[in-house]
Structure 1
Amino acid sequence: MAELNAEENELLVLKNKLIQQLNFIYKDVDQTIDYEELSDQLIKLMRLDENCYTPIAYQNHWSQKDVIMITYGDSLLKPDEKPLETLKHFLDNHIGDSINSVHILPFFPYSSDDGFSVIDYSSVNESLGGWDEIQSIAKDRRLMSDLVINHCSSRSAWFDNFIKGEGIGYDFFYTASPDDDLSDVVRPRTSDLLRETDTGKGTQHVWCTFSHDQVDFDFRNPEVLKSFVSIIRLYLDMGVKILRFDAVAFLWKKLNSSSINLPETHEVVRLLRTLLEHAVSDAVIITETNIPNTQNLTYFGNANEAHAIYNFSLPPLLINSLVTGNCLYLKRWLMSMPPSQNGTFYFNFIASHDGIGLRPAEGLLNDYELNSLVEAMQEFGGKVSWRTTETGEPKPYEINIALYDALQGTTKGRDSLGLQRFICAHAIMFGLEGIPGVYIHSLLGTQNDYEKVANTQQNRSINRHRWEYQELQSKLADSENHHAVVLSSLKGLLDIRIKQPAFHPNATQFTLHLGLQMFGFWRQSQDRKQSIFCISNITDHEMELAIHDLNLIMTDNWIELISGIELDMQQEMITLAPYQTVWISNVFHK
C-alpha cells in the first residue's frame, strides 16, 4: 500500500474529524446518512481537495492594531453614487489608519429587519452596489460579514419552493404542530412562534424564532448544512475574513426543549470552524449570542468553536456605571470574566445596530438596577422592546437608544457632561481585553432618529440613521460641531491604542480596587515589557487618585498616554475631572 503524502494525510485527518462531528450532530436524526460521503461533499464544497491549510492550534490572528467599525451598507448616502462607494470614501478620507476592519451589516437582498431577513445569500443588494464594491473595501480593510444562519426571508426562492413542495429548499424549514408542547422554548420575541402556511402538501406550521417573515431553517436536513458551507466559501472568495454567525444560539430545534444552546448547535459551529480554518488560515468566526453571560461564554468551546464572542454584558453594565456613578456591578463582572486563551478573543462593543440588550445583564444587575436603567434611558428618549418569559410575563429585552443620547445625563437627569461621559465610555472599552467594535453612529455622535422610528414603526430604527454624506461632511468640517469633536476624540484614542502592545486582545488584564466611583484595570503586554493602568472617574465630580494605590515601580518613568504628560512621581495625588480617563504606562509607543 502506497504511503500517503503530507497533503493526503491532512485530508484524511480532516475527513475523520468531520465524520465524528457529523455523527454527533445527526446520530439521533437519521440513521441512513452516509457520514463518509457527506464529509467528502463538504470538503469539495469548501474546495479543500484543491487547497487545504493545516491550522495551528491556539494561534492569534489579531493584535492591538485591530479595531472594527460596524455599519450598514447605506448608513451614508450621496446622490448618484452607490452607498458602498460612499462608505469606502468615508473610510479612506475620515477614518484612515485608525480602524483597520469594517463590519458591513447584511448587504444582501432582504425583505425586513434591515437586512436580517435574507432573500438571496449569493448576491449583493443592488441598491448598495455589487460584489466589486465589497471586494474593493475588502482589499484595504479586514471585512466582517454576517452569516444569517438561523433563518431566511419568507420571500426567498427556498421558501417559495417549500410552499410549492418541490425544488431546492422544499425541505429546508423547521415545522411543528400547534398541538406540540412548546412551553419550554426560549426566544426574544412576543409574536407567535409558529406561522401557519398553506403549501402543496397541505397546511404546515413553520417555526419562526423572530418574526413571521423570518422562517427558521431545519438543520436536521444535511442539505441545509451543505448550502451554508457553499455560502461560506462564496464569502471567503469575495474577501470576507470575519464571519458573524447571526442568532446562532437558536439554530438547532428540538421539541420538549428550550431550543437554545443545544449540543447540536455547538457542534455545528465546531464543524464549520473545522472547515473554515482549513480553507483560510486567518479567517475568524464570531458568534452573535445575545444571551446570559455564562451561556455566552460556552461558545468559545475549548478554543475550537468561535474564535470570538460578543461581550454582550459590557453595554448595559458600562452604561449603568456611568449613569449611576457606581461601578460595583461592572467591576464584579470584570473580575469574574475568564481570560480569553490564545486563539480566542472577546469582541467588545457598547453600541450597535441593535439596542442595549438586557438579557446579558440578568444575574449581573438586580431587578431594581435594571428597572432604574430602563427608566433613565426612557428619560433620555429611548424605547423599550419586550420579550415573553417562560411564565408568559412580558419583560424588557432591549433598550433602543442612540448611545450619544443614552449618556446625556445620569439617574439624576440630564446635565452638561454628556460629551465627556460618552468619550469616557469609549476610553474604557478601548482599553479592555479584546478587540473593540465601534458603531459608525458612535463615531459620529449620531442622536436618536425619531423620524425613522415613526416611518418604520420599529424601535430599533432609533439608532439606524442614514446620513446625507454632504451634510455629514459639512458638520465634520466644523471643528466645534459635536459630531466632529466626537470623531476626532475617538480617533485620537484609537491612534494611541493601536500602538500599545499592552492593549493586545490577549494581553494580561487585572481589575483594580479603587473604590466604586473610580473604575480601573491593569494591562500588561505579552512580553511583559509594557504596563498600562487604565483608570476612569465615572462620576460627575472631580476625584483624587492616590498614586501609591497603583503600586507603580518607582524606578520607571511613567507617562499618561492620552495627554502625553510624564507623571511627577513625587506628587501624591492625581486629580481626575468628571469622566476623565487616564492610561498610565511605563512605555509610550508613538
Structure 2
Amino acid sequence: MSSSVTTAIPGRALARARLGDALRLLHGAERAEALVREIEAAAEGARAHGLSGRAAGKARPVVIAVYPDHVLDGEEAPLAALRRFLHDEVGGVGPALLHVLPPYVSDGDDGFAVVDHQAVHPRLGGWEDLERLSEVGGGLMLDLVMNHVSTSHPGFRDVLRGAGRPEDFHLFREPRALEWGTRVRTSSLLQRFETGARPVWAWCTYGRSQVDLNHGSPDVFLSMARTLLRLMAAGARVVRLDAIPHVWKRVPGGPHQPEAKVLVRALRAVADLVDPSVRLLAETDHRPGERCYLGAELAQHDNHLAVPLLVFAAALVGEGRPLVDWVNASASDAHRCDGYAFLQTHDGVHLRPMDPPLDAPTLGRVLARLECADVRMSHADVGGEPRPYELNSSLHRIFSTEAGLDVERYLAAHALLFALPATPCLYFPTLFGLPDAEGVEPTNPRAANRHRYPYGTLRALMRQPVHARILKSLLGLIHLRDQTPALREDSGCEARLPAPHVLHLVRGHGRQSLHVLVNFGVEPVSVPAPLREWRDLLGGRQGQGDVRLAPAEALWLVEPVSGDPT
C-alpha cells in the first residue's frame, strides 16, 4: 500500500465518524448508520473516477459569478459559448474561480427553481461543458440549492397526485400563521395546492413556484449528499450552500435553527470522504462573534454583506470612517479573511435592512446619491415598515453621474475591494462595466442586472474603449492580487484616514508590506508617504516623500527593492 493511501485512510475514517455523529443528531442512530453506508458507497464511486486529491491549495482566488447562459451564440450550447468567449475574447480569467450559477434542470428563478439536481439543463449543455470551463480559469464554484425545489419537481408532483414522499416537504393540512424573519418576497409563506383528496399548504419561502424541502427527512439529505458529490465531480473547488439559514424549520421559529449548523457539518464530512480541499461557502452574513456556520468541521467561508455599503459610503459620498472602523474592528476576528466581499452580485446589493452597517444620516446620503442615479431599489417589510432591501441596478449605474459612468471611481473602488482582508468577488457584467438591461418589468427588479448577451453583441461592447479599459484593469487586479504576498490570507490589515476622503490600508506578509491609498475626493491631495521610497504596483510610479493622488486614484505601494511580485 502506498504512503499516499495509508495517510488518506485515517482522514476518511474521521470524516465517516463526523458524518455519523451529525446524522445521528438529525435522524437517529439506526437511520444514520444506513445513510452513512449509502453515502460511503457514493463517495467510493467518486474516488474511483479520480476526484480525490485534486488539491485546491490554501489560496483563495478571486471569484467571478456568471450565469451559464450569460453568453448566447446561436445553436451552440451556452456553457460552450461562455467557455469559448472567455478563452477567445477575454484570454481567460487567470487564477479566478468561475462561480457558475445553477446549471440544473430548472423552470424558473434563473436556475434556482430546481427540477433535477443530477442533470444539467439540456438547453445549457451537459456536465462535460460545465467541467471544461475550468480550462479558462482557476476552477469552478457551484451551488448546492438546498432549501427548495420547483413545484414542478417530480417528487412534489408525485405528492400532489397522492404518491411519493410527503415527508420530503413542509406540508400542512390547514393554513396557519407562520413568522420567519425578514423576507424579500411579499407572497404568503404558505401556499395552497390541490391534491387528489384534499388541499395542502406548502411552505414556500421564495414564492409559490418553489416549495421548501424538509431536511428532517433522511431521503432529502441523501439527495443533497449525492448532489454535492456530483458538483465535486464536475470540478467544484468551492460549493456554495444556497439559502442555508432557512433550511431547517421550527414553528414558532425563524432562520438559523441549530440543526442547520449540523447539516453543514454533515456536508463537510461528505466532501471530506472524497477531497478535503474542496471548500464550502455558507450563504449567510459574516458577523464577528456570531459564527454559526464557520469552523474546522463546518464551512470555510461566508459573505461580508456590509462591504458594498461601506465602500459606496466612501466612494460616492466621501464617508470613509465607517469602512475604516469596520476593517479595524474585524482585525481581531479569527474568521476575518474567510468572508467573500463584493460590490455587486447576481441578486444585486443587499442593504441589510435589519442591521445596516451605516448610521442613519450616512445611509440616507448614500441612498439619496443612488436615487439621483436612478438606481433601482426593492423593499422588504421590516416590522410592518417598508425599508430598502436591495439595489437591483448594475454597478455601472451605481457609479454613474449625469456625465455618465465615473470610470476612475469604479476602478478605484475595485482596487480597494481587492485589498480588503477577504476573498473579492466580481459579477460577470461588472467585469466589463456593462449597464442595466433596458425594458425591465417593474415586477422583476433583479432582471435589470441579469441580461443575457449575444456573443457578437458582447464582443462588440467589450471592444469599446470604456469597457475594454475596465476589463483590462480588473483582469490585471486578478493577476496582481494572486502574485502579491502581502495579500495572503494570513496577513493582517489596518485602515486609516490620513486626509479627508483618503483611505489607507496596510497589508503585510513577511518582508513585504503593501500600502493601499485611495483618494475618493474630487480634488487632488497629497499625503505623507508611508514608505521612505515607494513603487506603485498598479501604475508603476516611483517616488520619495509625499504621495500626490489625483481624484479617484488608487495606488498599491511597496518598497522598490522587495516590491516585485513573487
Give the counterpart letter for 1:83 in structure 2. P
Q: CA deviation at 1:342?
A: 8.3
Partner Cα distance (1:257, 1:458) in 2: 29
Partner Cα distance (2:199, 2:501) in 1: 60
Q: Return closer, same or farther for 1:41/1:449 CA change in 2, 3 Å cut-off.
A: same
Aligned 1:142-541 pairs, distance under 5 A: 142-167=139-164, 169-176=165-172, 180-183=176-179, 185-200=181-196, 202-258=198-254, 260-289=255-284, 291=285, 293-294=287-288, 297-300=291-294, 302-338=295-331, 341=334, 345-359=338-352, 362-389=355-382, 391-409=383-401, 414-415=402-403, 418-451=406-439, 453-454=440-441, 457-478=443-464, 481-525=465-509, 528-541=510-523
Given that 1:293 and 1:360 are in contact with CA atoms closer than 8 Å, whether structure 2 keeps it comes out as no
| Secondary structure in 2 matching 1:491 | helix
| Secondary structure in 1 matching 2:188 | coil
Q: CA deviation at 1:299?
A: 2.3
Q: Return closer, same or farther for 1:462/1:119 CA change in 2, 3 Å cut-off.
A: same
Aligned residues: 554
Q: Return closer, same or farther for 1:280/1:417 CA change in 2, 3 Å cut-off.
A: same
Given that 2:243 and 2:283 are in contact with CA atoms closer than 8 Å, whether structure 1 keeps it comes out as yes
Q: Return closer, same or farther for 1:52/1:70 CA change in 2, 3 Å cut-off.
A: closer
Partner Cα distance (1:281, 1:12) in 2: 13
Question: Which deviates further from its counterpart, 429-438 or 415-424?
Answer: 415-424
Given that 2:178 and 2:251 are in contact with CA atoms closer than 8 Å, whether structure 1 keeps it comes out as yes
Q: CA deviation at 1:489?
A: 1.9
Q: CA deviation at 1:343?
A: 12
Given that 1:180 and 1:255 are in contact with CA atoms closer than 8 Å, whether structure 2 keeps it comes out as no
Give the counterpart letter for 1:158 in structure 2. G
Is 2:557 aligned against 1:584?
yes
Partner Cα distance (2:117, 2:179) in 1: 32
Give the counterpart letter for 1:383 in structure 2. R
Q: Return closer, same or farther for 1:233/1:149 CA change in 2, 3 Å cut-off.
A: same
| Secondary structure in 1 matching 2:292 | helix
| Secondary structure in 2 matching 1:337 | helix
Give the counterpart letter for 1:424 in structure 2. A
Given that 2:286 and 2:303 are in contact with CA atoms closer than 8 Å, whether structure 1 keeps it comes out as no
Give the counterpart letter for 2:162 in structure 1. G
| Secondary structure in 2 matching 1:212 | coil
Q: Provide structure 1 residue ranges, at least 5 long, that are not aligned to the other structure.
A: none
Q: CA deviation at 1:579?
A: 1.1
Given that 2:346 and 2:427 are in contact with CA atoms closer than 8 Å, whether structure 1 keeps it comes out as yes
Partner Cα distance (2:93, 2:310) in 1: 30
Given that 2:31 and 2:218 are in contact with CA atoms closer than 8 Å, whether structure 1 keeps it comes out as no
Q: Return closer, same or farther for 1:157/1:343 CA change in 2, 3 Å cut-off.
A: farther
Q: Return closer, same or farther for 1:510/1:34 CA change in 2, 3 Å cut-off.
A: same
Give the counterpart letter for 2:230 in structure 1. L
| Secondary structure in 2 matching 1:123 | strand
Given that 2:317 and 2:369 are in contact with CA atoms closer than 8 Å, whether structure 1 keeps it comes out as no
| Secondary structure in 2 matching 1:189 | coil
What TM-score, normalized by structure 1, do the two folds share? 0.87
Give the counterpart letter for 1:329 in structure 2. P
Q: Return closer, same or farther for 1:253/1:98 CA change in 2, 3 Å cut-off.
A: same
Q: Deviations over 1:188-222 (max 9, x none)?
A: 32210001112245221111111111111100111
| Secondary structure in 2 matching 1:211 | coil
Identity of aligned residues (%): 25
Given that 1:313 and 1:360 are in contact with CA atoms closer than 8 Å, whether structure 2 keeps it comes out as no
Aligned 1:9-28 pairs, distance under 5 A: 11-26=12-27
Partner Cα distance (2:46, 2:56) in 1: 26
| Secondary structure in 1 matching 2:117 | coil
Partner Cα distance (1:49, 1:72) in 2: 26
Q: Return closer, same or farther for 1:494/1:340 CA change in 2, 3 Å cut-off.
A: farther
Question: Which deviates further from its counterpart, 370-379 or 261-270?
Answer: 370-379
The counterpart of 1:564, out of the listed 528, 540, 554, is 540
Match of 2:3 in 1: none
Q: CA deviation at 1:361?
A: 7.9
Partner Cα distance (1:277, 1:200) in 2: 43
Given that 1:519 and 1:535 are in contact with CA atoms closer than 8 Å, whether structure 2 keeps it comes out as yes
What TM-score, normalized by structure 2, do the two folds share? 0.90
Q: CA deviation at 1:477?
A: 3.3
Q: Deviations over 1:5-29 (max 9, x none)?
A: 8776655543332232123334xxx
| Secondary structure in 1 matching 2:92 | helix
Given that 2:191 and 2:208 are in contact with CA atoms closer than 8 Å, whether structure 1 keeps it comes out as yes
Q: Return closer, same or farther for 1:297/1:447 CA change in 2, 3 Å cut-off.
A: farther
Partner Cα distance (1:360, 1:500) in 2: 36
Partner Cα distance (1:108, 1:48) in 2: 21
Partner Cα distance (2:47, 2:92) in 1: 37
Q: Return closer, same or farther for 1:38/1:109 CA change in 2, 3 Å cut-off.
A: closer
Q: CA deviation at 1:494?
A: 2.6
Given that 1:293 and 1:361 are in contact with CA atoms closer than 8 Å, whether structure 2 keeps it comes out as no
Q: CA deviation at 1:298?
A: 3.1
- Aligned-residue CA RMSD (Å): 2.8
Partner Cα distance (2:266, 2:331) in 1: 24
Q: CA deviation at 1:293?
A: 3.5
Partner Cα distance (1:114, 1:197) in 2: 23
Question: Which deviates further from its counterpart, 512-521 or 210-219?
Answer: 512-521
Given that 2:286 and 2:304 are in contact with CA atoms closer than 8 Å, whether structure 1 keeps it comes out as no
Partner Cα distance (2:56, 2:334) in 1: 9
Given that 1:245 and 1:288 are in contact with CA atoms closer than 8 Å, whether structure 2 keeps it comes out as yes
Q: Deviations over 1:342-384 (max 9, x none)?
A: 8972222111111110117824212333343333223212222
| Secondary structure in 1 matching 2:516 | strand
Partner Cα distance (2:391, 2:408) in 1: 22
Match of 2:67 in 1: 72
